[in-house]
Amino acid sequence: MKPAPTARIYRGTPRQLAALARRLQAGELVAVPTETVYGLAADAGNARACRQIFVAKGRPANDPLIVHIHSLAQLEGLAIGNAAARRLAAAFWPGPLTLILPKRAGVPDVVTSGRPSVAVRMPAHPLFRRLLKLVGRPLAAPSANPFGYVSPTTAAHVQSGLGRRIRHILDGGPCRIGLESTIVDLRDPRSPRLLRPGEITRAQLAEALGGPVRGPLRRPAKSSSRQIAPGQLARHYSPRTPLTLHAKLTPAMVARGGPREAWIFLRRPAGRRDARVFALDPRGRLPGAARRLFALLRQLDSAGFTTLHAELAPAAGLGAAINDRLRRAANWTKAAS
């Protein structure tokens, strides 16, 4: 039997965007760039198309999808809004923020995993926004990778993971942020809760809302339960190579390590270069670290190392999002030091 053909990568010319819009309108899947990570998109109103997302990714049906919109008018057809949602939308949309709201009757159950709520985001990536406008419909789009693996931040990442399971990939360049969107539960607008940290921080949300925002749930969701939102499982964003987390890495720890152990510092340590040592950002800046995290995990996962060691970021601001992804990638392994 011949292997499945490899997905075609499109560069986003007007003609190609129009062709991809027709594919989506016809119920096909298209991998798309966003400012956070690449997503695997389907017409959110087409239950059959959305089921194909779960098949292509190997995603369990109890993990809901995020619906991406081009305009606030589309939000009204999907969800029952409130004053808190309008405030956050005005402050952060288009951008890396997902809102959990009560859903309208027309949203297919496959999109929401049977829950009465829906996750909605208005992305900022200009190429994806052009495609959304051409399609004229909201698009459901989780990350474009096999379920549970490290999220893709380039078209090449999508190609390596799903290239024989899907047919179309829109290349929008490397993702600007590199981590999935912040998710806020606004089902009860009087008690907003941060479900997944991202570039937009809990403090920024509280400032925009003029009141406190509860923190993420302390216990990760059970894999068998219907999730409120994506990214709630204990094990997620995970490389195949075992990952151990550390509060702080030092050159002495590297010296004691084996020849097939890799060490991921937030900032490259001074002194002698070591082929086992990697840095998320040359100066330890959190935006750069977030942007490179998933790409570096993928690189090291295919480099023949037996163990990866990673240094946790400072817990405030964007560091909370980086640490959230690291802990899920390590399956909540306790920090070794």
265, burial (CB in 10 Å: exposed 0-12, middle 13-18, buried 19+): buried
Which pLDDT value is given to residue 158? 98
Indicate the pairing of strand 139-140 with strand 39-43: antiparallel
Distance (Å, whole) CA 309 – CA 257: 10
Bridge partner residues of 194 (DSSP) = 184
Indicate the pairing of strand 66-68 with strand 117-121: parallel
Of 222 and 174, the one with more pLDDT = 174
Q: CB–CB of 190/106 below 8 Å? A: no
CATH placement of domain 243-329: 3.40.50
Containing 193, the helix (H) or strand (E) segment is: strand 193-196
Q: How confident is the model at residue 5 (pLDDT cuts 50, 70, 90)?
A: confident
Which pLDDT value is given to residue 106? 93
The reply to whether domains 8-209 and 243-329 share a CATH topology is: no
| pLDDT, average across residues 251-280 | 93
Which pLDDT value is given to residue 227? 81
Q: Residue 188 above 80 pLDDT?
A: yes
CATH superfamily of 8-209: DHBP synthase (3.90.870.10)
Q: Residue 334 above 50 pLDDT?
A: no
Which pLDDT value is given to residue 73? 95
Distance (Å, whole) CA 314 – CA 251: 19
In the chain, count of helices (H) and strands (E)? 11, 14
At 284-309, the pLDDT tens digits run: 999 999 999 999 999 999 999 999 99
Q: How confident is the model at residue 223 (pLDDT cuts 50, 70, 90)?
A: low
Lowest mean per-residue pLDDT among 19-23, 89-93, 220-224, 316-320: 220-224
Assign residue 58 a region: left if phi > 0, alpha if psi is -120 to 50, beta otherwise? left
Domain ranges of the chain: 8-209, 243-329
Query: The pTM is what?
Result: 0.94
| pLDDT, average across residues 313-321 | 94
